């Protein structure tokens, strides 16, 4: 019974394997065979990789070793050559016959005889040691010189590449050199010296209709009656925008120049602008001023070329750029082309619910500029106690000059000017038959005084000015800075032209920087007080032809409101 049960159990176990069970057995056997067959693979792989690595090392090491051996042989050859030369030199200077000295080799061989005395042998040994030392030193010096030369070459390449990409005002890392020099970001009083952005908006987003204008080279701004009045040096439109900078608002307008009077009579615009055709020429407007007494605006064209057609007595006062008792530039002996600012008086009018402006007259500023891009960049209007109106014009360049002289930091200048009409002046001075009369100008802005800006405004250029009470704000585009100081009018709240001055001990504030402490606001060209601690500024278009870093485009052609710390 037990035997039969065992047999049945064995049969059941065998039968339970079935077809699938046999397959499992075969798979297990194959799997084990596979494992055993792969045990040899790691060793083969290792052997193959080792062989390849050894071959690479041999290929690399062989030429290096050959070069090292060659260098060693060259050095040894030179050392032996120098030693032989020194030995020959010593032998030539010996007048006595050298004594023989025998040296035993110490191995039973014959002695070697050297033709030196003890002193001569030691001397030769020292000379050889000195020669080796000198030669080693020379090699070291040559290596250092080569390293220094390579370093200088790389630095020059970096500097030249930086100049080629961003212009000479940028480092090889693309950072403005003036920003790098005044690294305000490391100042512990950073928050007290950097203006705080309140809000800003692109000029393109302000008016509802931009009149197909593709650029707005904003150059100056004045705040009046909670409105921003902005001029651009490429267009003749005047922007009148809400202080809130609401985008695409109907309240934000571009005022056009009228071609007729408010009564409908045609205006000879070219004559009013002294020969300029606004349909063909850029405006070159760089400053805007409002006379609170008349409500008129004055806009200043930076520098208009004038050709000298005479050769007479030089009546230019030394160091003042103002003619003695005359505005006759034909009397200037140097000849050639020079430049004057044109100051346009205009009135804002509303005809049929359309605001625009009407040109009243254009007068030439007497002050003479030698360069076409370095004229007046900003201005403010001032009155005396008796009601006489003056303009205080801000020169862009230091010393009111251009080129290298105009970039001598901290020598900013203002020109105080008063308008006079030519006819009364011509009765006093025959020299008024000059270029001003040829251009049919009825008036000139005579230069009264040149006024210094305090040295602490240590700027490369000066881009705008505004006055609120006795506070003065002057901006610099090249330095991305604001100087905030005080003015002494000389007669209380009215000006005394002879006593007017800007007081020292003002403060310099910086426009915000980027993460690398480089300039973000690269083209600040206008400034105006909103309140004692708020200012409005505008930015010109970024300079073309790679004269500025590409990052400058982010803030150009925009209006910005900042808080003064």
CA quadruple 193, 199, 202, 208: dihedral, nearest 10: -150
Residue in the block written with tokens 């032998």: 91
Which parts of 398-495 are beta strand (E)? 413-421, 443-452, 464-468, 471-476, 481-488, 490-491, 494-495
Per-residue pLDDT of 468-517, as tens digits, reads 999 999 999 999 999 999 999 999 999 999 999 999 999 999 999 999 99
Exposure string over 436-454, b if 16+ CB within 10 A, otherwise e: beebebebbbbbbbbbebb
**Section 324-350 average pLDDT:** 66
Residue in the block written with tokens 């800075």: 481
pLDDT at site 183: 81
Apex CA 116: angle with CA 113 and CA 117, to 5°? 115
Q: Which of 457, 456, 474 is nearest to 465 (CA)?
A: 474
% of the chain surpassing 90 pLDDT: 53
Which parts of 203-258 are beta strand (E)? 218-224, 227-232, 238-242, 253-257
Q: Which of 304, 463, 468, 478 is nearest to 393 (CA)?
A: 463
Per-residue pLDDT of 92-147, as tens digits, reads 544 444 444 444 444 444 443 444 455 544 544 444 555 545 556 666 666 666 66
Q: How many Cβ atoms from other residues are within 10 Å of residue 247's Cβ?
A: 13
User: Strands 354-365 and 443-452, how do they pair?
Assistant: parallel
- pLDDT at position 562 over 50: yes
- pLDDT at position 162 over 60: no
For 396, which DSSP code? S
Measured between alpha carbons, how far is 198 from 563 in angstroms, rounded to an integer? Answer: 6
CA quadruple 86, 92, 93, 94: dihedral, nearest 10: 110
pLDDT at site 279: 95
Q: Taking a C-beta distance cutoff of 8 angstroms, is the pair 176, 552 a contact?
A: no
Three-state SS sequence of 41-67? HHHHHHHHHHHHHHHHHHHHHHHHHHH
User: Coil, strand or helix: which one is 501?
Assistant: strand
Q: Which helix (H) or strand (E) holds 116?
A: none
Q: How many Cβ atoms from other residues are within 10 Å of residue 186's Cβ?
A: 7
pLDDT band at 373 (very low <50, low <70, confident <90, very high): confident
Q: How many Cβ atoms from other residues are within 10 Å of residue 359's Cβ?
A: 21
185 vs 60: which has the higher pLDDT: 185
347 vs 72: which has the higher pLDDT: 347
pLDDT at site 85: 65
Residue in the block written with tokens 């001569």: 120
**Section 259-266 average pLDDT:** 88
Backbone Cα Rg of the chain: 43
pLDDT at site 133: 56
**Section 26-48 average pLDDT:** 54
The number of helices, as runs of H, and strands, as runs of E, in the chain is: 8, 24
Q: How far does Cα 135 stand from its chain's mean position?
A: 49
User: Strands 297-307 and 524-531, how do they pair?
Assistant: unpaired
**Section 392-419 average pLDDT:** 95
pLDDT band at 449 (very low <50, low <70, confident <90, very high): very high
Q: What are phi and psi of 556, to 5 degrees?
A: -75, 160
Per-residue pLDDT of 169-210, as tens digits, reads 778 778 888 888 888 999 999 999 999 999 999 999 999 999
pLDDT at site 545: 77
pLDDT at site 434: 53
Average pLDDT of the chain?
A: 78
Per-residue pLDDT of 220-230, as tens digits, reads 999 999 999 99
Per-residue pLDDT of 517-553, as tens digits, reads 999 999 999 999 999 999 999 999 999 877 888 999 9
- pLDDT at position 269 over 80: yes
Per-residue pLDDT of 271-323, as tens digits, reads 999 999 999 999 999 999 999 999 999 999 998 887 654 433 333 333 333 33
Measured between alpha carbons, how far is 392 from 401 in angstroms, rounded to an integer? Answer: 17
């Amino acid at each position: 019974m037990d035997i039969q049960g065992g047999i049945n159990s064995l049969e059941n176990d065998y039968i339970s394997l079935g077809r699938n069970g046999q397959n499992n057995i075969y798979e297990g056997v194959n799997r084990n065979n596979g494992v055993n067959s792969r045990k040899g693979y790691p060793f083969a792989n290792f052997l193959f990789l080792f062989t390849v690595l050894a071959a690479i090392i041999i290929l690399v090491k062989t030429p290096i070793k050959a070069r090292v051996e060659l260098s060693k042989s060259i050095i040894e050859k030179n050392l032996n050559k120098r030693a032989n030369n020194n030995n020959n030199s010593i032998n030539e200077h010996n007048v006595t016959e050298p004594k023989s000295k025998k040296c035993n080799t110490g191995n039973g061989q014959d002695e070697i005889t050297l033709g030196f005395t003890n002193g001569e042998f030691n001397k030769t040994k020292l000379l050889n040691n000195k020669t080796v030392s000198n030669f080693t030193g020379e090699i070291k010096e040559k290596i250092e010189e080569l390293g220094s030369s390579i370093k200088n070459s790389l630095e020059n390449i970096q500097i030249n590449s930086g100049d080629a990409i961003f212009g000479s005002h940028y480092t090889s890392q693309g950072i403005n050199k003036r920003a790098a020099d005044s690294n305000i970001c490391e100042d512990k009083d950073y928050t007290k010296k950097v203006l705080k952005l309140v809000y800003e908006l692109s000029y393109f987003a302000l008016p509802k209709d931009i009149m197909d204008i593709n650029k707005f080279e904003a150059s100056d701004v004045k705040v009046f009656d909670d409105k921003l009045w902005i001029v651009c040096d490429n267009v003749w439109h005047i922007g009148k925008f809400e202080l809130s900078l609401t985008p695409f608002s109907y309240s934000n307008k571009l005022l056009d120049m009228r071609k007729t009077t408010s009564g409908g009579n045609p205006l000879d615009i070219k004559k009013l602008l002294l020969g300029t055709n606004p349909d063909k020429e850029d405006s070159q407007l760089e400053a805007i001023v409002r006379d609170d007494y008349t409500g008129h605006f004055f806009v200043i064209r930076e520098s208009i070329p004038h050709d000298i057609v005479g050769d007479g007595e030089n009546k230019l006062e030394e160091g003042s750029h103002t003619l003695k008792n005359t505005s006759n530039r034909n009397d200037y002996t140097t000849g050639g082309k020079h430049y004057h600012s044109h100051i346009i008086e205009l009135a804002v009018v509303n005809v049929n619910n359309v605001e625009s402006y009407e040109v009243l007259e254009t007068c030439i500023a007497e002050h003479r500029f030698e360069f076409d891009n370095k004229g007046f960049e900003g201005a403010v209007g001032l009155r005396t106690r008796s009601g006489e109106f003056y303009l205080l014009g801000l020169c862009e360049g230091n010393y009111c000059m251009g080129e290298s002289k105009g970039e001598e930091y901290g020598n900013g200048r203002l020109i105080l000017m008063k308008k006079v009409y030519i006819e009364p002046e011509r009765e006093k001075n025959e020299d008024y038959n000059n270029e001003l009369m040829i251009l049919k100008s009825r008036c000139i802005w005579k230069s009264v005084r040149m006024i210094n800006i305090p040295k602490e405004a240590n700027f490369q250029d000066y881009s705008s000015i505004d006055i609120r009470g006795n506070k003065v704000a002057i901006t610099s585009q090249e330095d991305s800075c604001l100087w905030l100081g005080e003015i002494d009018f000389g007669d209380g709240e009215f000006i005394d032209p002879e006593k007017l001055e800007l007081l020292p001990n003002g403060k310099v504030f910086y426009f915000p920087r980027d993460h690398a402490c480089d300039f973000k606001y690269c083209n600040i060209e206008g400034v105006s007080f909103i309140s004692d601690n708020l200012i409005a500024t505008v930015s010109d278009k970024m300079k073309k032809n790679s004269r500025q870093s590409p990052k400058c485009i982010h803030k150009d052609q925009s209006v910005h409101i900042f808080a003064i710390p």
